[in-house]
Structure 1
Amino acid sequence: MTLQIDAVDRKLLRALQEDSRKSVQVLGEGVGLSASACHRRLKALEEQGLIEGYRAVLNAGKLGYSMQFFIEVGLTSQSETALEAFETAVQDIPEVLECHLMAGQSDYILRVVCQDHDDFERLHRRLSARLPGVARIHSNMSIRTVKARTGLPV
């Protein structure tokens, strides 16, 4: 269900996606609102669930994660129990940044980060051995990120 938002809400959401550290005063000025009106709109957008949270975007390379992989995972079964077991287990692997249930050749695609080749080998073994119901794994290494966007087009 898409919620109805106006042009000012859209400007406010775009501004937040660019830099959520701006003060309510600065955000309001940027969209033509007083600080109190901006604060009320932000609270309403949060209550409607349009704003789920605020996060810092970290530099993976500077934190030692120089490698990124997209890993396709096929399971031995697509039963609800098998899917739930896999999804629960993948939550406990911090290197897995994203996990998507897919329609197509693979059951899941994971986006993972690793520090080096040895780190990737350890992660690959962990995925193969510890995740329930894994039948096959196919890994693709990202050479370079061409476009990365955390925001949505609003």
Structure 2
Amino acid sequence: MPIEALDRTDRRILDALQHDGRMTNQDLADAVGLSPSPCLRRVRQLEAAGAISGYVALLDPAAAGLEVSAFVRVRLVQQDDRHLAVFERSVREFPEVMECYLIAGESDYQLRVLVRSLQAFEDFLRTKLTQIEGIAQVQTSFALRRIVYRTAIPIDT
């Protein structure tokens, strides 16, 4: 369901839940100007329609001992269906890969990798990533400091 197809109240519900997914239905209803029953009904409809895909707790990587954030660009030897499928199936299995995108440009993929240390990154690179069939080149940049990190998508309320 495209966000644009939602009315103002549904958008306000989505915006509020993105900022506090644990708020009670009563608090949500108060925030968006509904009574609890219609509010809960709208939330259930948004879930059923796929506008809300799930609920999570966001953890601090540093608190979990994951101090190194790397951005890895990968170029394949050939960008055909077989090589793409092999690569994508493989990286889905690596818990260190937080995000992976098929991209346009000099590289074929960009990954965000989260690990405990530079040694752990080297191990990941040598024993996992570069073992995937069809990789031609890997380039890595390391994050020095996070400037912006958002989990809430912009919703025009």
TM-score by length of 2: 0.94
Deviations 1:63-110 (A, max 9, x none): 000110000000011001110111001111000000000011110000
In structure 2, distance between residues paired with 1:79 and 1:118: 33
Kindly indicate whether the alpha-carbon contact (under 8 Å) linking 1:89 and 1:132 is maintained by their aligned counterparts in 2. no
Aligned partners of 2:40, 2:55: CA distance in 1, in Å? 15
Give the match for residue 2 of structure 1. 2
| CA offsets 1:106-151 (integer angstroms, 9 cap, x no match) | 100000001011101101112112x221111000000111001111
SS in structure 1 opposite 2:93?
Answer: coil
Note the 1:1-154 alignment, pairs <5 A.
2=2, 4-125=5-126, 126-129=128-131, 131-154=132-155
Distance in 2 between residues matched to 1:63 and 1:148, nearest whole Å: 17
- Partner SS for 1:105: coil
Match of 2:101, SS state, is strand
Q: Distance in 2 between matches of 1:19 and 1:109?
A: 29
Structure 1 spans left out of the alignment, 5+ residues: none
CA-to-partner distance for each residue in 1:41-70, whole Å, 9 max, x for gaps? 001111111111001100100100011000
Aligned mates of 1:18, 1:106 — CA distance in 2: 34
Gaps of 5+ in 2: none
Q: Distance in 1 between the 2:118 and 2:70 partners?
A: 11
Inter-partner Cα distance in structure 1 for 2:28 and 2:151 = 19
Match of 1:14, SS state, is helix
Comparing 88-97 with 3-12, which one deviates more in the overlay? 3-12
Native 8 Å contact 1:70 1:141 kept in 2: yes
Highest RCO, 1 vs 2 (Cα 8 Å, sep ≥ 6): 2
- SS of aligned partner of 2:63: helix
Per-residue displacement from partner, 1:24-57 (whole Å, max 9, x unpaired)? Answer: 1111111011111111100111111111100110
What's the RMSD between the two structures over aligned residues? 1.0
Alignment length, in residue pairs? 153
The AA in structure 1 aligned to 2:35 is S
User: Tell me, what secondary structure is at the counterpart of 1:51?
Assistant: coil
